[in-house]
A and B are shown apart, each in its own frame.
Chain A
Amino acid sequence: MAAASSGTVLHGVGVGRRAAIGPVVRVQPAPAVPPDTVLMVDGRPATPDQVRDAAGAAFTAVAQALTTQSSRATGTVRDVLAATAQMAGDPALRAQVLSRVAGGEPPVSAVDAVVNQFASMFEQAGGYLAERVTDLRSVRDRVVARLMGLAEPGVPELAQPSIVVARDLAPADTSALDLDKVLALVTELGGPTSHTAIIAGQLGLPCVVRVAGADQLADGALVAVDAANGTVTVDPDAALRETLARRELAEQALTQDTAPGATADGHAVALLANIGTAADAARVGAVEGVGLFRTEVLFLERTSAPTRSEQAEAYEAALRALGGRKVVVRTLDAGADKPLAFATAPDEENPALGVRGYRLVRTHPELLDTQLEALADAQRATGTTPWVMAPMIATAAEAREFATRARAAGVATVGVMVEIPAAALRAREVLAEVDFVSLGTNDLAQYTMATDRLRGELADLLDAWQPAVLDLVAATARAGVELGKPVGVCGESAADPLMALVLVGMGITSLSMSAGAVPAVRYALRHHTLERCRQMAAAALGAPGAGEGRAAVTALLSDDARTVLVG
């Protein structure tokens, strides 16, 4: 593996618009060691006793290192590291490994066997425990690396603000990162809607995924990451540094403006934030409300469903944190990539097309009813009316059924998500049953283009600028205009300032995104009239492909906006 030389520019898919310059810190892959590798001591194969002592020392050292790292960290990182440290120090894990190696088993094989045994127990338990398997594997990797004298795998402790470079980042990796010291994220794999990209979006971190050649970025190398252009430049020259610094200043200036969203001629468009917890609600900052409260976080790390009063408490906290601002709550969207221990069928061949989202009502109606009752409780307790919508609605009949259940529970404002092409094609009929709809553009693109959101190599097909996806968005927006009902967008495409202009031109009434994306979208709207937005929508819909559409809209930007938004 040759290190990338000075001035080399690597290309990938940018997430967000920001840029950063800093030293590379690489996330090391798991040690690749054959299970029968013999431990050598002083040039001779170690005796079983020596192996046992070395393995015991490796467990102790790994547990201590993780404990130390945990004590220097804060928040979630601290908790994740502490939990991993406790696994490394687990008496049963250690005792079983030591007993195997004392019996002559090669050390890597012994560690693997014991870890696999616990991992399969965890996987059988499912849910929260199945997710902890990643932590268990990380203990395995660390102990094996320590024992065999290899580089410490996983996310390193960041001594200074750094650019984190990885082949891919698992949720567990991200949760072990001290995000205050992360300047930017660069991955070789992953797509623009992958976990890494979503986290980066929430935090407003520059991020470039699918960077070919990212494996050549050496630890400590100085690089410039430019998400707007999807580039990573090794040893950036003075000119590039200056450009990026200027853009960063402009970006910071955008955040000073906190007025409600509107076009240059005063057409109001609500700018909202996406959140996952009541704690997020307290952190959203200067937005007009929340356009997507993903409630599955309450359900995910559990072996049984949260009770009505537990849920009501969480919803009430979110409503209170937002002090009367608009809050759109999405009912449980479990299944597919978000399985639940107590509801998801384990044997679905195509979980993205299976019993997920609203469809869970077919197998577990009590989950939805309890949630709707809890939302009505929160509505009564706070005097704020949440907008409540169901995910994964395919037909007008499903929309009607959901609205009936929700209103029976006491929920006052009812809507559904439009993320299945069938619902977009029949948007007028769907919208007639409810008070509002919200387009989930990530899933709408996935289902329209028959492209898995998690397959990074198909990112071009998943592009929200694909005219077929835009046709469905436009049809839904048109239904809203005709019926005089609100149609929002809560997918990542609302976070792209250019796309936001197109959406507003189509008749979309609110845009919900990661809070960090709001300033640039607000700026874009403020610099264009509604009429110009309509021209942009026509240009995007009339383009033969995604790239052409984006280019046509870029050409319609005002000069000021082009400098600030495109750079």
Chain B
Amino acid sequence: MAERTVTVASRVGLHARPATLFTQAVAATGMPVTIAKAGGEPVDASSILFVMSLGVPYGDQVTLAVDGPGADEVLDGLVALLATDLDAPADPGTPS
């Protein structure tokens, strides 16, 4: 079982567009990835309903876990995604 903990970088939290992009990326891996808040039950990370229900705000940590071949590479990709502000425009300006 591979596990990674990451801080959510999207300013709106793991909602709306960031949640959509994340769950789609999980589904694309075809692997049973789970996501959990600190101290919370892990849920299916490919489910937009479960992921949104977690209500993860900006700056909170989540833990991803998956078993199987290539688990580490899969998690590397997903962690990189969560560590990006997914709600920012394609060409993010410098914050003032």
Query: Which residues of A line the B interface, CB within 8 A?
Result: 82-83, 86-87, 90-93, 118, 121-122, 125, 128-129, 132, 136, 301-304, 309-310, 312-313
Contacts and interface: CB of A to CB of B under 8 A. Distances in A.
A87 B95 contact: no
| Chain A CB within 10 Å, residue with most, of B43, B55, B95 | B55
B53 A83 contact: no
B47 A90 contact: yes
B55 A92 contact: no
**Secondary structure class of chain A's binding surface, majority of residues:** helix
A304 B58 contact: yes
Given A128-B15, A303-B13, A313-B96, A86 B53 contact: no
Contacts of B46: 91-92
Nearest to A127: B55
A125 B49 CA distance: 12
Contacts of A118: 49, 53
Interface in B37-77: 43-44, 46-50, 52-53, 55, 57-58
Given A91-B46, A128-B15, A309 B96 contact: yes
B13 A129 contact: no
A309 to B, nearest CB: 6
B16 A303 contact: no
Contacts, number: 56
A201 B70 CA distance: 55
B47 A303 contact: no
B31 to A, nearest CB: 12
B2 interface: no
A87 B48 contact: yes
Contact of B49 (A92, A304, A309, A310): A92
A129 B95 contact: no
Interface in B1-54: 11-13, 15-16, 20, 23, 27, 43-44, 46-50, 52-53
A93 B44 CA distance: 11
23 contacts: A82-B20, A86-B20, A86-B23, A86-B48, A90-B47, A91-B46, A91-B47, A92-B44, A92-B47, A92-B49, A92-B50, A125-B55, A128-B16, A129-B52, A129-B53, A301-B12, A301-B16, A303-B13, A303-B15, A303-B57, A304-B13, A304-B58, A313-B96
B57 A304 contact: yes
Contacts of B57: 303-304
Contacts of A302: 12-13
B87 to A, nearest CB: 11
Contact of B52 (A122, A301, A310, A313): A122
A310 B58 CA distance: 14
A303 B48 CA distance: 17
Nearest to B58: A304
Nearest to B24: A86
B62 to A, nearest CB: 14
A128 B55 CA distance: 10
A561 B15 CA distance: 51
A132 B52 contact: yes
A90 B48 contact: yes
Given A92-B44, A303-B57, A313-B96, A87 B12 contact: no
| Chain A CB within 10 Å, residue with most, of B13, B16, B95 | B16
B58 A93 contact: no
Closest 4 CB pairs of A and B: A92-B47, A121-B53, A125-B55, A118-B49
Contacts of A313: 96
Contacts of A136: 49
Contacts of A304: 13, 57-58
B58 A87 contact: no
A90 B95 contact: no
A91 B24 CA distance: 11
Contacts of B55: 125, 129, 303
A83 B44 contact: no
A83 B20 contact: yes
Given A83-B20, A86-B20, A313-B96, A91 B53 contact: no
B53 A122 contact: yes
A87 B23 CA distance: 11
Nearest to A128: B15
Given A129-B52, A129-B55, A91 B27 contact: yes
A128 B87 CA distance: 15
Given A86-B20, A90-B47, A303-B55, 18 more contacts: A82-B20, A86-B23, A87-B48, A90-B48, A91-B46, A92-B44, A92-B49, A92-B50, A121-B49, A125-B52, A125-B53, A129-B55, A136-B49, A302-B13, A304-B13, A304-B57, A309-B96, A312-B96
B32 to A, nearest CB: 10
A122 B19 CA distance: 14
A313 B96 CA distance: 8
Contact of A87 (B11, B13, B49): B49
A304 B52 CA distance: 15
Contacts of B16: 83, 128, 301
Nearest to B56: A303
Contacts of B49: 87, 90, 92-93, 118, 121, 136
